[in-house]
């Protein structure tokens, strides 16, 4: 599939994958492993595909070109979803030079234990591939691995960005247009929230560095999902906003429940928010029914998160523990929260969740809302009033 001039997409669309990284990233819309072929005086392959598609990838590439004409392979990130086709490919064309960062060399050696022909590059290094066509390498350390890198192709003005600007989407139409833009931005934001949030400070600095090069960028070709053949400024500006203290006028209520009491609190808090401020967006999310990634995406968007669990064994439910662990790991910036939950006799859950959130850098904005046993009418009223208070604080 032609991207621009002599650049073609040679990746794989994975329509059926529903969980990625083991079970750690939900991909209800599938994903793609984007690899690109540049055929100038020199022929260059940028990245490969997930290991599970290695043979299909090589076969498909063989049907496109004589593999022996590939002069260079650029590997921008060693994670298996991008480097997983290397071994099968190099069985056909051993010793083909691989251009990558030093950290990526360590990753590839660690993954494959093979004596590849490494050519190490740093930011600012270039590789001439034809008249007016040069690859310019840009290290993208910790965006999101130490080995990550982007590559700018002069002449065609294409930025190959690997994971950055990507989306987990499998699509027949690879190119961004006005019809699929909204979905691409939503999925790019989910990707940012779940993968890049801990590195926002570095992301912001990297965006500035990219702008300081004054490259013309007509196309952003990421490692997953749609290719930004249009709306390039829009996705770059979105990243700039997301890498700051991002939030929307949105409250998310996240809970798990044992005998429905904590669910009743969650639903009545939401009713109170809606009654106070009909224009404030609010979602109620059951940890057991919504993927952790969608919940993290919701937290990323939120002005306030409310987290509820009943008390069990002097603590909170293990499902909530997993969620809190991920919140801590993602190091969200400037987030606010409060907690709620039912209990029978000891009632530690809400305080413990609050402590965990405080240690994760989240500001606690309100006393916990608790209910001894199942919420009665008074408690339901109290939950609705709690919701009204949260709505006011979300607008403050």
Q: Which residues bind ligand FEO (CB under 6 A)?
A: 77, 79, 81-82, 144, 163, 223-224
Backbone dihedral angles phi then psi of residue 360, each to the nearest 5 degrees: -95, 5
CA angle 125, 128, 133 (to 5 degrees): 110
Please enumerate, as own/partner, the contacts of 209-213 that have beta carbons within 8 Å and a separation of 24 or more: 209/138, 210/138, 210/159, 210/236, 213/136, 213/152
Question: Could you tell me the two tokens for 298?
Answer: 């919701």
- In the bound complex, what is the minimum distance in angstroms from residue 28's beta carbon to ligand FEO? 17
- In the bound complex, what is the minimum distance in angstroms from residue 25's beta carbon to ligand FEO? 9
Closer residue to ligand FEO (CB): 162 or 349: 162
- In the bound complex, what is the minimum distance in angstroms from residue 86's beta carbon to ligand FEO? 14
Closer residue to ligand FEO (CB): 81 or 103: 81
Q: Which residue number places its CB atom closest to ligand FEO?
A: 79
- In the bound complex, what is the minimum distance in angstroms from residue 140's beta carbon to ligand FEO? 11
- In the bound complex, what is the minimum distance in angstroms from residue 75's beta carbon to ligand FEO? 12
Q: Please confirm whether the linkage preceding 255 is cis (ω < 30° from 0).
A: no
Three-state secondary structure of 207-222: HHHHHHCCCCCCEEEE
Backbone dihedral angles phi then psi of residue 240, each to the nearest 5 degrees: -65, -40
Closer residue to ligand FEO (CB): 199 or 343: 199
Question: Could you tell me the two tokens for 260?
Answer: 């429905």
- In the bound complex, what is the minimum distance in angstroms from residue 222's beta carbon to ligand FEO? 9
Closer residue to ligand FEO (CB): 24 or 372: 24
CA–CA gap between residue 115 and residue 118 (Å, rounded): 8
Q: Which residues of 57-80 are buried (b: 16+ CB within 10 A; e: fewer)?
A: bbeebeeeeebeebbbbbbbbbbb
Closer residue to ligand FEO (CB): 143 or 362: 143
Closer residue to ligand FEO (CB): 99 or 145: 145
Residues 306 and 250: beta-carbon distance below 8 Å: no
Residues 147 and 8: beta-carbon distance below 8 Å: no
Closer residue to ligand FEO (CB): 166 or 261: 166
- In the bound complex, what is the minimum distance in angstroms from residue 137's beta carbon to ligand FEO? 18
Residues 161 and 221: beta-carbon distance below 8 Å: yes
Q: Tell me the sheet residues that pair with 72.
A: 44
- In the bound complex, what is the minimum distance in angstroms from residue 168's beta carbon to ligand FEO? 9
Angular region, 193: left φ>0, alpha ψ -120 to 50, beta rest: alpha
- In the bound complex, what is the minimum distance in angstroms from residue 100's beta carbon to ligand FEO? 14
Closer residue to ligand FEO (CB): 171 or 254: 171
- In the bound complex, what is the minimum distance in angstroms from residue 90's beta carbon to ligand FEO? 20
CA–CA gap between residue 255 and residue 265 (Å, rounded): 9
Closer residue to ligand FEO (CB): 107 or 247: 107
Pairing mode, if any, of strands 336-343 and 363-364?
Answer: parallel
Closer residue to ligand FEO (CB): 31 or 257: 31
Where do the H-state alpha helices sit in the chain? 54-64, 80-83, 86-92, 102-112, 181-191, 200-212, 232-242, 261-276, 292-301, 318-330, 349-359, 377-395
């Amino acid at each position: 599939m032609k991207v621009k001039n002599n650049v073609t997409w040679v990746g794989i669309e994975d329509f059926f994958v529903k969980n990625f990284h083991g079970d750690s990233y939900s991909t209800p819309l599938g994903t793609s492993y984007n690899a690109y072929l540049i055929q100038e005086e020199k022929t260059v392959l940028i990245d490969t595909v997930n290991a599970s598609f290695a043979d299909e990838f090589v076969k498909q590439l063989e049907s496109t070109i004589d593999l022996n004409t590939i002069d260079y392979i650029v590997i921008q990130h060693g994670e298996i979803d991008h480097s997983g086709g290397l071994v099968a490919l190099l069985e056909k064309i051993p010793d083909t030079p691989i251009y990558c960062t030093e950290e990526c060399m360590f990753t590839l050696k660690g993954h494959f234990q093979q004596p590849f022909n490494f050519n190490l590059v740093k930011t600012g290094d270039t590789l001439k591939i034809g008249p007016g066509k040069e690859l310019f390498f840009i290290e993208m350390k910790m965006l999101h691995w130490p080995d990550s890198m982007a590559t700018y192709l002069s002449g065609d003005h294409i930025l190959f960005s690997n994971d950055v600007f990507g989306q987990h989407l499998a699509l027949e139409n690879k190119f961004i247009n006005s019809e699929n833009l909204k979905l691409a931005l939503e999925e790019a934001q989910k990707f940012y929230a779940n993968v890049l949030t801990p590195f926002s400070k570095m992301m912001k600095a990297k965006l500035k560095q990219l702008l300081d090069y004054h490259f013309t960028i007509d196309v952003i070709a990421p490692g997953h999902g749609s290719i930004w053949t249009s709306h390039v400024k829009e996705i770059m500006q979105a990243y700039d906003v997301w890498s700051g203290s991002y939030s929307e006028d949105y409250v998310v209520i996240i809970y798990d429940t044992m005998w429905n009491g904590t669910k009743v609190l969650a639903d009545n808090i939401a009713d109170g928010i809606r009654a106070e401020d009909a224009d404030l967006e609010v979602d109620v999310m059951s940890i057991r029914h919504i993927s952790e990634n969608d919940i993290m995406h919701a937290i990323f968007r939120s002005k306030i998160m409310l987290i509820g669990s009943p008390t069990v064994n002097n603590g909170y439910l293990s499902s909530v523990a997993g969620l809190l662990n991920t919140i801590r790991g993602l190091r969200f910036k400037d987030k606010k929260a409060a907690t709620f939950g039912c209990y029978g006799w000891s009632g530690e859950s809400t305080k413990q969740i609050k402590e965990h959130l405080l240690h994760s850098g989240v500001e606690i904005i309100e006393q916990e809302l608790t209910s001894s046993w199942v919420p009665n009418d008074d408690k339901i009223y109290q939950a609705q009033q709690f919701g009204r208070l949260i709505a006011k604080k979300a607008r403050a």
